[in-house]
A and B are shown apart, each in its own frame.
Chain A
Amino acid sequence: MSKQVKQLDRVIIRFAGDSGDGMQLTGDRFTQESAVFGNDLVTLPNFPAEIRAPQGTIPGVSSFQVHFADHDILTAGDAPDVLVAMNPAALKANLGDLPKGATIIVDTHDFTARNLQKAGYDANPLDALGDAGSQLGEFAVQPVDLTGMTIEAVKEFGLSRKDAARAKNMFALGLLSWMYGRPTEPTEAFLAKRFAKVPAIRDANITAFKSGWNFGETTETFAVQYEIKPAPMAPGTYRNITGNLALSYGLVAAGVRSGLPVFLGSYPITPASDILHELSKHKAFGVTTFQAEDEIAGIGSALGASFAGQLGVTTTSGPGVALKTETIGLAVMTELPLLIVNVQRGGPSTGLPTKTEQADLLQAVFGRNGEAPVPVVAPQSPGDCFDAAVEAARIAITYRTPVFLLSDGYLANGSEPWRIPDVDDLPTIEPGFAEAPAVAEGETAPAFRPYERDEATLARPWAIPGTAGLEHRIGGLEKGDGHGNISYDPANHDHMVRTRQAKIDRIADSLPPLVVDDPSGEAKVLVLGWGSTYGPIGAGVRRVRKAGFNVAQVHLRHLNPFPNDLGEILRRYDKVLVPEMNLGQLSLLLRAKYLVDAQGYNQVRGLPLKAADLAQAIGELVAQAEGVAVDLTPTSSKETVQ
């Protein structure tokens, strides 16, 4: 049977099922296939905090969205073109996100009376498909007994019915892989490796995967196959990578480039634990991982390791930062290098453990007693977590200071193609330990001054135990300038408070100029963001530009100190829009420091911002600034925007 092949420039697919249905794995495999195929892509996993919420219920729904395209894209997409729903709850939970005309592939097997009831359906929505006024009438629904066909396909392996049914996610993956012309070899190789020790399960999964593909190819239900050509990308070797993996690699790289052993002191917490898991695999790089008894011991041990001359790192999320706060203050006072990685999640308190948010910015900048400045660095995309980690380490080591690295749940679990950097191109970081003074025969060494500062950086010496002649005591009490002994002198305290601040301010001198994306040079509106909003902001800006309007974009990597040219850039524009997944924390800082009328665009829904909403908000501001009506319909209708 010959099938029609239709060209598409981009597709958004959401795989949704029960927490136990393997949707994350399915989505991840589809992503890897798309990456190897050469599409640009962005992913958005979304799962409940409960490991196994009650089966078949709405709270138990887990989903994975992947957006892939033949061109450069920036977000996981606002609305799925295709929903794969493995049970009634998955259908119900995701229906509201679908645009008219979206395709829904439903596993009919689980649409039993009991499951329908658990999902809150009075009647089976699939029964009314052809009827006028059906709630699914606006969509192209494909009811398929995925589970039944899977069980049938794998019966030769003698698995229990339950185990056989578990391969249904691979059947679904096979079907979607056929629909979108994905390469199958990576997934077959993956399954062979993953289940190498249980041949029956391995063979069942591979068979289910192939059966899904074959089903798509042979059945008349699916008449069309889609083709999304590879996206043009800059030359280089790529891999798909999540933010937590890139951040872990960045920490390993920081160790290699500084020559320092990395010491991670950490306590498990969602969504940061994967960094602990990953780093624990890299002992061959001299990485020590210490799973401490609590968050406080996590950072305490890391600070102890820093005092000992290693690169101390602690990884956590917001609630953990709250506990680590006092030790961060000690690191500020003792002026030792330390990395604090906060993979932000919804707050306050326990909040939304598996959802994303950017509401810990002010906590990072200010959340300590006393005047305790701490540099803050934020990655803008999953792959960028690598470079941001190296940069945070550079600042920590060069300036002898704790540094916050603010990732978030979206970056942590989301993925994108990442151009693998050349190790030789990474910055070299110089620890520059203090050396014992040379003393001539018969002379006594001058007393070591642990708080004497480097003229350029204002950093103090890092004198590690084991160095004769540099024995000294540090601690949380105020230090006398230079000699570092306890000092309660009023003038000294004033001097030291200002000096610690000046040291952090000096970091700005080491930063490159900001990149201002203002192609026409005539924009009156600037959109300024930080962290994971980079994708949605960029996509929103593109839409506005495609509609023929001017808008400028700047994205901040350094939140403390701000780059030296930020104030001047802000003043160039009539309007400044600051989109954030909080109630306006960066806007507050900008308004306070630069006296600009920064306007917030704020959402705290635990999800990434939507490009369409942002485009709307930008458009409104452009209309105000330029006194024109703004219609966001692309000026050239054949051009595609996302």
Chain B
Amino acid sequence: MTATDHSVGLGIPGLRTGTELVPALGEGETQSAKDFSSDQEVRWCPGCGDYAVLKAVQSFLPDLGLRRENIVFISGIGCSSRFPYYLDTYGMHSIHGRATAIASGLAIAREDLSTWVVTGDGDALSIGGNHLIHALRRNVNMTILLFNNRIYGLTKGQYSPTSEAGKITKSTPMGSVDHPFNPVSLALGAEATFVARTVDSDRKHLTAVLAAAAAHRGTSLVEIYQNCPIFNDGAFDDLKGADTKADAIIPLEHGQPIRFGVEGSKGLVRDTATGGVKVVEVGDGAGQTPVGELLVHDAHADDPTTAFAISRLTDAGVLHQSPIGIFRQVSRPTYDDQARAQVVTASEAVTGDASDRLASLIGGGDTWTVV
């Protein structure tokens, strides 16, 4: 997959604060995508969206300019969770749903590591839902790539927490009666500081989102729409089709009016009746809304209400419409920075070597001596 000229822009300049404490390459040192490719054969199904994401990540990592040995990918279980095996960094293919918990420990322990989580809709939202929301609210410095194919692939085709109601699968022959949720809404509800959505087929947008996510200091959640050609083929076709994508993708660019549709014929405004946002026809005619009255996207708004309202424009059923881009990016002290700062503060408040201090500790309290 190559970048196209029709790629969606983001409107947020890249900052490097998320990786500030991670050792960078030295003067004159360079890295290429090849340096990040392991010797393991990639084993996803032909046509799987994971290939595109892997390629994008392998090409993007050298741009970070970080030392390869200071990058760690932690994954859970599922098709996408094989990801770390294919990257020549440190990695752990862990257990179902727990990658965010394991990565939290790693990120708290070491400020000099760039910590990445690779997970899927089943892994992160079903079995690992608890760890995901708590990582997001804590704001541990790491980037979570959530591959959402809206199906269970590795277990061969059961519905997932993001599958549309009524979906016929192996475990729901009469149609699923399970109501799906939306990862972006969930993350915003958990007060995540960085929430974005991108698509496997838009390499340029994907790469730009990855860069912004890595730059963000805190937990970055990136939902990546990813096609499963075997069990849920075409789930994102409307977002990719030449005829449909203009109406299907609502691009979010910070500081820009939110506009989409062929020749920008549609846009978003606040809906005073519901407190949410709604789609309007853009123009100066009767029943149309002038461009100047459209909602201007503010990813840095401290209040996540508008971002949440925008996230609700994502179809819960078959996907015909979805906002894409960075919904929210705000600064909040990270859990790991603060936890380490407490250790540093406490350590600086004492003198003497650790053995002597240990002797005082265990020899404290009411003591008596027998001679």
Contacts and interface: CB of A to CB of B under 8 A. Distances in A.
Nearest to B70: A466
B109 A309 contact: yes
A252 B358 contact: yes
B369 A237 contact: yes
Given A38-B368, A420-B367, A485-B40, A290 B69 contact: no
Contacts of A233: 370
B266 interface: no
Interface in B349-371: 349-350, 354-359, 361-371
A305 B106 contact: yes
Given A293-B130, A297-B101, A308 B109 contact: yes
B130 to A, nearest CB: 6
B264 to A, nearest CB: 43
B367 A290 contact: no
Contact of B105 (A234, A301, A477): A301
Interface in B64-94: 67-72, 74-75, 77, 84-85, 88-94
A334 interface: yes
Contacts of A60: none
Contact of A330 (B67, B94, B105, B345): B94
Interface string A278-316: 000011111110101110110011111111111010000
Interface in B2-52: 23, 38-40
Nearest to B335: A290
Contacts, number: 210
Contact of A239 (B39, B103, B367): B367
Interface stretch (A162-170, A467-475, A531-539): A467-475
A290 B102 contact: no
A178 interface: no
Interface in B103-153: 103-110, 112-113, 130-131, 134
A465 B90 contact: yes
B155 interface: no
B95 interface: yes
A36 interface: yes
A112 B132 CA distance: 55
A285 B357 contact: yes
A238 B368 contact: yes
Nearest to A289: B339
Nearest to A326: B95
Contact of A252 (B106, B130, B134, B361): B361
A327 B128 CA distance: 13
A310 B111 CA distance: 13
Contact of A297 (B68, B93, B104, B362): B104
B242 interface: no
Which range contains the number of A residues in contact with the other chain? 35 or more
Nearest to A245: B365
A380 interface: no
B73 to A, nearest CB: 8
Contact of B102 (A236, A301, A486): A301
A235 B108 contact: no
A238 B367 CA distance: 5
A307 B91 CA distance: 10
A443 interface: no
A283 B347 contact: yes
B273 interface: no
A265 interface: yes
A424 interface: yes
B18 to A, nearest CB: 17
A253 B96 CA distance: 34
Contacts of B101: 292-293, 296-297, 300-301, 304
A35 B69 contact: no
B23 to A, nearest CB: 8
A36 B104 CA distance: 44
A35 B120 CA distance: 58
Given A284-B346, A308-B113, A476-B93, A470 B69 contact: yes
A263 to B, nearest CB: 6
B98 interface: yes
A424 B370 contact: no
A598 B308 CA distance: 65
A391 to B, nearest CB: 16
A508 B53 CA distance: 48
Contacts of A238: 367-370
Interface string A217-248: 00000000000000011111111110000000
Contact of B109 (A297, A304, A423): A304
19 contacts: A233-B370, A236-B369, A237-B363, A239-B367, A261-B343, A263-B105, A283-B345, A297-B131, A300-B94, A300-B98, A303-B102, A304-B74, A308-B110, A308-B113, A329-B95, A465-B90, A473-B84, A473-B91, A475-B84
Interface of B: 23, 38-40, 67-72, 74-75, 77, 84-85, 88-96, 98, 101-110, 112-113, 130-131, 134, 339-340, 342-343, 345-347, 349-350, 354-359, 361-371
